[in-house]
Amino acid sequence: LVQLSGENEEEEEEEVPLYDTKDVNKDIQVDRVTLMEEKCHVACISTASPKPMAKYCPEEDEEIVQSVVQGNTPSYSLESKLGDCFRAAAIRREALQRLTGKSLEGLPLEHFDYDSILGQCCEMPIGYVQLPVGIAGPLLLDDKEYSVPMATTERVLVASTNRGCKAIYASFLEDPLNFETLSAVFNQSSRFGRLQSIKCAIAGKNLYMRFSCSTGDAMGMNMVSKGTQHVIEFLEKEFPDMDVIGISGNYCSDKKPAAVNWIEGRGKSVV
């Protein structure tokens, strides 16, 4: 290797053997070695001062490590031959360090279930990498708050989920306690009109509300419109930033065929 000084002068460093003589037989002298069955050739280079390599393999695995280094044992077959996924990863890792002369000390190996990924999502593992963990919430489930940890490298995913959690947490119309309040406001508008349910549908920044009511013996379209207007006026006081586009958003689908009426039902049926 050539190292450049501050004055751009070249100084030749003494070559140091790539392999540790304690771990590899002294009689193994190669310029190129074959790695795995794909015969991927790795050029042997000299290094000035290789970093110490962390060893996870016990002494009894030394023979297997050397066999992988020499190309006699395919790296991909370690799991099936040993029946121990962690041991296979440790041996493969040690062999790779010797073949490349590079330390993998910064790559975690322990405290991971390698059996869980066998034949699933990663082949020939030598360790694992950590993902950043974000927090979303709180999310209210069964009157209990939960903060949801999310491990991801996808941008804005946690932020979007967090906004969704806040929207669910702050939901007003779908809260049973708030429905009782809205029902009282609606019912004040008529002697016969009674609010039964409110179904909400979100499309972008728009909220469509479908009011289901009982209207006594009347068809009650005017009755329903009047009660709905009372509820909207109440919501405008509670949410000053809310903009009302119209009293009817076509979610009721009056006087026209629409699938929503088949799904949610409309009017009365007589058998």
Other beta carbons within 10 Å of 125? 19
pLDDT value, residue 60: 78
Q: Characterize 246-270 residue by residue with b for buried, 16 or more Cβ atoms within 10 angstroms of its Cβ, and e for exposed.
A: eeeeebbbeeeeeeeeeeeeeeeee
pLDDT value, residue 57: 64
Reported confidence tier of residue 173, pLDDT bands at 50, 70, 90: confident
pLDDT value, residue 55: 52
Q: Cα–Cα–Cα angle for 208, 210, 215, nearest 5°?
A: 155
- Do the Cβ atoms of 188 and 230 come closer than 8 Å? yes
Question: For 91, what's the count of Cα atoms within 13 Å in the CB-facing half-sphere?
Answer: 27
Which residue's structure tokens are 């190309």?
Answer: 71
Q: Is residue 2 predicted with pLDDT exceeding 80?
A: no
pLDDT value, residue 217: 84
Beta strand segments in 14-143, E:
32-35, 40-43, 133-141
Quote the mean pLDDT of the chain: 78
The pLDDT tens digits for 59-73 are 778 999 999 999 999
Give mean pLDDT, residues 180-192: 91
Residue type, 188: Q
Q: Is residue 85 predicted with pLDDT exceeding 90?
A: yes
Q: Where in the chain is the domain with CATH 3.30.70.420?
A: 176-264
Q: Is residue 17 predicted with pLDDT exceeding 60?
A: no
Give mean pLDDT, residues 227-243: 91
The pLDDT tens digits for 140-157 are 888 788 888 888 888 899
pLDDT value, residue 233: 93
Asked which of 37-51, 99-113, 154-168 is least confident by mean pLDDT, the reply is 37-51
Cα–Cα dist 193/214, whole Å? 6
Domain 176-264 CATH class label = alpha beta
How far from each other are the two terminal CA atoms of the chain, in whole angstroms?
92
